[in-house]
Structure 1
């Protein structure tokens, strides 16, 4: 008999059985796929192992072919500690010699003074006794060994120096092609400084007299010789050589010439009262680019009298001039307030002013706006030195940190020392012709009217042990040539070790070290580093 209620149960059992069978089939398929994947993975691993083994065999065979048998780890480097150079029981100066070779060199240079020169030797100036035309590295001039000099100036074709006794020495082919050693020319005048023009030598005596004599020995022997007083009263004798005396007009009884410098065709003379005079300094060309500082002064408009008469630069009356400098055809003057005046040729920007084709030179002193270089920097500049040569000009500046406009006062925020207020930074700026690298700023510019900072000589510091503070390193001297320059640093701390007054003072580690910088063109070995462009 058919039971209606049992139908769904049978159908449900059949449905569950079919669903269970379907799941089992799916599981079998999944397990089969997994087994296949595992077997394929094992085959890949086996193949990879075989490939790795083959690559290793090939690498081993390749290494054997090129002789690479074995590979060893690098052995550890044995550390070698340098033994101390200082020795117990030695004097302080001997310990300094062991510590620094430069200290020993400086000390020996003091014990054996002399002159080192390098560069072009076509005029027999750098090496008078040599036929070499180029001296690439510093070389001593044997004549000056053991001699002390008051001053020395070198040109390509002639040189001049002042001995310790105040006598003038000259040498070079422009002086005499047959003379191979410096020769005394102007003697007994107690000279203190010398300067060179295109064809004349200008020398300043301790009494303030300025002597102008020709470079050539022939002209000195054949030219006009002024009378000189002799050891007999009221009796004069002609001078052994020809020379001229340059005497400024209207000097007071206590006033005399204190500083002398010259360019190719002009000279500047500074008096003890701060007055500035200019004159022609060459017998072949009259200054024509405004370098005399007298507006409208030319060869045709010059006043009656000698061509090399002195002219007072009236524009600078009232300014106490303290330093002067001259390039080939331009002039600089610095007063005691730190103001710089420039005049002359500005074709390369050597005056520190913008160049103009319509006005290539300035014939009257112009005030340089050097304070614009520090606009917005919080620094107040004070020019401390000026230097010139060729078509280049250099300025040394002491920049003092001051509160900027709107900056809180030190008492409101922090101490002045903590904010650096009052701290002085010594910097050097340059302008002019930089195509030969003479500006020292890492660039080769034809015209540099705006002064550019010389980073190698700016922002230098050292620790002053005597005062216990950090102080700026300034320049002691700067000599400027036509395409190069050389500077001597005014270090405070170490250059005094064992020298001068109180020799031997300081610790055993205080040593002297090199303080000279050279830069510019190397066309004729002017830098002295043994190279040539």
Structure 2
């Protein structure tokens, strides 16, 4: 976490005097006993390569920061005490970062969050208008003006409000109108409204049963449980979810992929991987109707052309503005986009049947799938900014068929590239974490590749580029190695986490805590780049950055995200565990950034 200036001297005792090199981005942090080494290679991607993090502890002296005093930029609140404080900075115009005042001006420097204090969470996500978190018990809490409405300061809840409970939720994914939640134990997926005034509990229809009575007594809001169009295997359950602006994708424990439209625009760019779905035919009726959500490009191939080469321009525009639905359903009778019962069935993606997928991720209007075998990536959906990564020869604005992304052009000859992770936020940019291995040797390196809309520098290649169709290396964090004193060798430095926002800034966490030897407990370095209009990069400035920078404190030491054991309470303040492993996690939201304590699973 981030610490006040008067405690910054403890950073040196927490391991900041360590031997670390990272190409041109890093600087020599201490004097080696024998000779200086400078690294030139790769940032890591594969977190699941057997690196142990279970014994990492924090050895900084205990401190007791005043919670009422904001902390200055880049400082660290790392401590050995039991305090678990979140730190926030950036846009606060809808009171997502702080509800303690009526001020909606940006938070210029990282400060303690009164909303997420003294707790560790399973998951956290924020949009421009509201925030959602999952506490240690698996209950969902919501806050922000988009949730509670524009309330006066005296009426504004000081803490997040519990909404969905009793479902053992492990993760959440958000859209402007809906919250999608995944149950850890059962693997079930639930949807509830993002607005408090639309969460009035509805009594279950049909006959009463013990199960319905139990379900009703364990939740405070109206919600739905999603079904599937095909039967899952006996032990199969959903393990991950991801949302774009208008669509949801989900992955099962067997590697099967499913998608669902969250509004009539849920397949505007072909991001679903299918077209025909069933929706409610009337907002007041439970009956279903089959509709076909046809991508814009299929309805009007000249949608992006000039008026001079379009035929029947007026009629074309009318066609594109409305989804193609079954003739038996009137447009006026279709449910509204913010209706949580718009579509309640997850559909298996036909073109991916028989392909075991390890990860599926939704961009704003695109979808990416990483195969379990070979680490190959398939992408489909919107491609106006080259966000599918299909290269300069694919200039189609929309691709509705899963198409392979080729990484060999970014690697030297004689190497094999394998994608180990995909990070795509609700915007038009995607990051591929790729491992390169030299054929016939054990040498490996790691790259962070980006493509899509880089108008504010989110590509990280030193340029402000509107469109980037070929995956490009993020400069200064691709090709990083560090020196290990224990065995006197250079090793690739891995990536621990990456989070990107729809407004164009990215937070990347380096896995520096996994090292052995001096400085091993100093924590994970935090790197940021991209849009900085609302001070979301945490450096106290507003100029956007097209290349990554380390977050540093006033003394020039790097901010380090910590791992420790501590007592954990739920959001209501009740003790959940007397001792649990927690780690600081960085989240990039729309115009803002949050560092919170996350429970390690």
Greater CA drift, 485-494 or 260-269: 485-494
The offset of 1:348, in angstroms, is 0.6
Write out per-residue CA displacement over residues 486-509 of structure 1, whole angstroms, 9 at most, x where no aligned residue.
111122544x7xxxxxxxxx66x6
Give matches, 1:296-375, under 5 Å.
297-298=292-293, 299-301=323-325, 307-336=343-372, 337-354=374-391, 359-374=396-411
C-alpha distance in 2 between matches for 1:116 and 1:229: 48
Give the structure 1 partner of residue 163 of structure 2.
185
SS in 1 for 2:115: helix
Bigger helix share: 1
TM-score normalized by structure 2? 0.63
> Using a 3 Å threshold, how does the CA distance of structure 1 residues 399 and 153 change in structure 2: closer, same or farther?
same
Contact between 2:262 and 2:343, CA under 8 Å: does it hold in 1? no
Contact between 1:259 and 1:269, CA under 8 Å: does it hold in 2? yes
Stretches of structure 2 lacking an aligned partner (at least 5 in a row): 1-9, 19-57, 61-75, 277-291, 294-322, 330-340, 544-601
Contact between 1:263 and 1:328, CA under 8 Å: does it hold in 2? yes
Higher alpha-carbon Rg:
1
The offset of 1:370, in angstroms, is 1.6
Give the structure 2 partner of residue 436 of structure 1.
456
Contact between 1:346 and 1:361, CA under 8 Å: does it hold in 2? yes
RMSD over aligned Cα, in angstroms?
Answer: 3.2
SS in 1 for 2:466: coil
C-alpha distance in 2 between matches for 1:348 and 1:301: 28
1:146 paired with 2:124, answer no
RCO higher in structure (CA 8 A, sep ≥6): 2
C-alpha distance in 1 between matches for 2:182 and 2:521: 36
SS in 2 for 1:433: strand
Give the structure 1 partner of residue 254 of structure 2.
273
Contact between 1:464 and 1:492, CA under 8 Å: does it hold in 2? no
Write out per-residue CA displacement over residues 401-423 of structure 1, whole angstroms, 9 at most, x where no aligned residue.
226xxxxxxxxxxxxxxxxx431
The offset of 1:335, in angstroms, is 0.8
C-alpha distance in 2 between matches for 1:233 and 1:363: 41
C-alpha distance in 2 between matches for 1:182 and 1:384: 35
Write out per-residue CA displacement over residues 17-62 of structure 1, whole angstroms, 9 at most, x where no aligned residue.
xxxxxxxxxxxxxxxxxxxxxxxxxxxxxxxxxxxxxxxxxxxxxx
> Using a 3 Å threshold, how does the CA distance of structure 1 residues 140 and 231 change in structure 2: closer, same or farther?
farther
C-alpha distance in 1 between matches for 2:525 and 2:354: 38
Given the alignment, which residue of 201, 204, 207 partners 2:182?
A: 204
C-alpha distance in 1 between matches for 2:12 and 2:391: 54
Give the structure 2 partner of residue 388 of structure 1.
424
Given the alignment, which residue of 168, 172, 180 partners 1:194?
A: 172
Give the structure 2 partner of residue 289 of structure 1.
269
Bigger strand share: 2
> Using a 3 Å threshold, how does the CA distance of structure 1 residues 258 and 99 change in structure 2: closer, same or farther?
closer
> Using a 3 Å threshold, how does the CA distance of structure 1 residues 250 and 397 change in structure 2: closer, same or farther?
same
Give the structure 1 partner of residue 589 of structure 2.
none
Greater CA drift, 383-392 or 316-325: 316-325
Stretches of structure 1 lacking an aligned partner (at least 5 in a row): 1-92, 404-420, 497-505
TM-score normalized by structure 1? 0.70
C-alpha distance in 2 between matches for 1:368 and 1:308: 31
C-alpha distance in 1 between matches for 2:11 and 2:526: 24
Write out per-residue CA displacement over residues 452-483 of structure 1, whole angstroms, 9 at most, x where no aligned residue.
10022211112446666432112111111121
Given the alignment, which residue of 159, 164, 171 partners 2:131?
A: 159
